[in-house]
Structure 1
Amino acid sequence: MLHPRLLVEADIALLKLIDRAEIIDAFYRVQEGRLLRYAQHEVVLGWPAGEAEHDALILQQCYRRGGWLYGFFDEGALVAAAVVDCLPIECAGLDLRQLKFLHVSQAYRGQGLGRQLFALAREQALAMGAQGLYVSATPSQHTVDFYLGLGSELLATPDPQLLALEPEDIHLCLRLV
């Protein structure tokens, strides 16, 4: 049985245990302001070297400044999580909050956990006073289609700092107002 709860700072170290394995057959890139899908096969076996540790430091800073971290546990193992940062981002004429993290372990995909986490992140962004949720999505087709299917839209002009950090990501916005 899954147990959802707010995460505490000590839980951040558990995020690296989420199994990110997947087989990807297509990706997106932005070309002339539009999404272009292209075929490319890639097998992801887990976290790229050093990424989980790097993310943990960023998420620890987010937690300490008042960010929201939430996860689903199965018998003590963290299997899905989402993080919303409390820092305002002015973009697309809106006051946004960033969805900094949303992952579901491979064995738990297809059960609606991602949708539940995204809905909770949406509510949290509203509670933080945001007009929208900023999503810097990995460019895999499955990930981008997930966010688009939940109402997110391609940002015509992404936040320059976030774009510089993740230039290959697809930068999206979910309008909340």
Structure 2
Amino acid sequence: MIYRQLNNINEFKLLKDIDRSEIVNEKYILKNNKIILVKDYYNITSWIDEEVNEYINRMNDIYNSKGLIIGVFDNEKIVGIGALDKNLCGKNKNMYKLDLLYIHHDYRSLGIGNKIIEIFKEETKKDNINALYISATPFKNTIDFYLNLGAIVTKELDSNLFDLEPEDIHLELNIK
């Protein structure tokens, strides 16, 4: 696998080539500052054009504000993408935001997501920032991934991010 920084909008458009399909049977909800697993069903298939365009624009904004976009390639095929937004967030504006992380369906559980997070943690340490803010889709696999990395329900809820994604589970990952 080749991990490298993506540097332009044409590379950001590769996002649509990642197969994000997934069957979801459970998700988490936040209740009394605790996450609770509940039954729910989603059949995630192909990308919606508006959603892809929104993500491409967000990656472009992140890149233009000195953030970091990482693409993962198996030969010429993109199999993962992640974006680190360096605009400070969290209640105390002391965290970077893991803005997006997608791994191709056929490449999950191979450590690609872990490696992207490690790259982001190193970048964050260089800037003397101690945590990543994660506003994550509440699906069981997604939240379990972050919890297994050591993320916790954030104590510094960013109200702007919460207003954008109130059903997300808002986490923080200490990087020290």
Which residue matches 1:83? Answer: 83
Cα shift at 1:157: 4.5
1:52 aligns with 2:64: no
Letter of the 1:20 partner, please give it.
R
1:110-121 correspondence runs (5 A): 110-121=109-120
Partner of 2:64: 64
Aligned-partner SS, 1:62: helix
Residue 129 of structure 2 aligns to a residue in which SS? coil
Identity fraction in percent: 29
Deviations for 1:47-100, whole angstroms, at most 9, x for unmatched residues? 244111111111101101100111111232211011111111243x57100001
Verify the 8 A CA contact 1:94 1:131 in the aligned structure 2: no
**Partner in structure 1 of residue 26 of structure 2:** 26
Mapped contact 2:154–2:170 kept (Cα < 8 A): yes
Segments of 4+ moved more than 3 angstroms = none
Query: AA paired with 2:108?
Result: R
Residues of 2 paired with 1:143 and 1:75: CA distance?
A: 26
- Asked if 1 retains the 8 angstrom alpha-carbon contact of 2:90 and 2:156, the reply is no
Count residues with an aligned counterpart. 175
Give the alignment's Cα RMSD to 1 decimal: 1.4
Alignment of structure 1 residues 118-133 onto 2, 5 Å = 118-133=117-132
Q: Tell me the TM-score normalised to structure 1 length.
A: 0.93
Show the counterpart of 1:11: 11
- Structure 1: 5+ residue stretches without partners: none
The amino acid of 2:56's aligned partner reads A
Matched, 1:154 2:144: no
User: 1:47 corresponds to which letter in structure 2?
Assistant: W
AA aligned opposite 2:98: L
Are the structure 2 counterparts of residues 56 and 94 from structure 1 closer, same or farther at C-alpha, using a change threshold of 3 Å? closer
| Rounded Cα–Cα distance in structure 1 between residues aligned with 2:54 and 2:93 | 29
Q: TM-score, normalised by structure 2?
A: 0.93
Measure, in 2, the Cα distance between the counterparts of 1:157 and 1:124: 21
1-structure distance, mates of 2:128, 2:157: 20
Moved more, 156-165 or 26-35: 156-165
The answer to whether the Cα contact below 8 Å between 1:5 and 1:71 also exists between their aligned partners in 2 is: yes
Deviates more, 1:126-135 or 1:105-114: 126-135
Cα displacement string for residues 86-130 of structure 1 (whole angstroms, at most 9, x for unaligned residues):
111243x57100001111000111111111111111111222321
Structure 1 residues 48, 32: CA separation in 2 closer, same or farther (over 3 Å shift)? farther
**Does structure 1 retain, via aligned residues, the 8 Å contact 2:90–2:133?**
no
For residues 143 and 90 of structure 1, the distance between their equivalents in structure 2, rounded to whole angstroms, comes to 20
Indicate how the Cα distance of structure 1 residues 104 and 168 shifts in structure 2: closer, same or farther if over 3 A, else same.
Answer: same
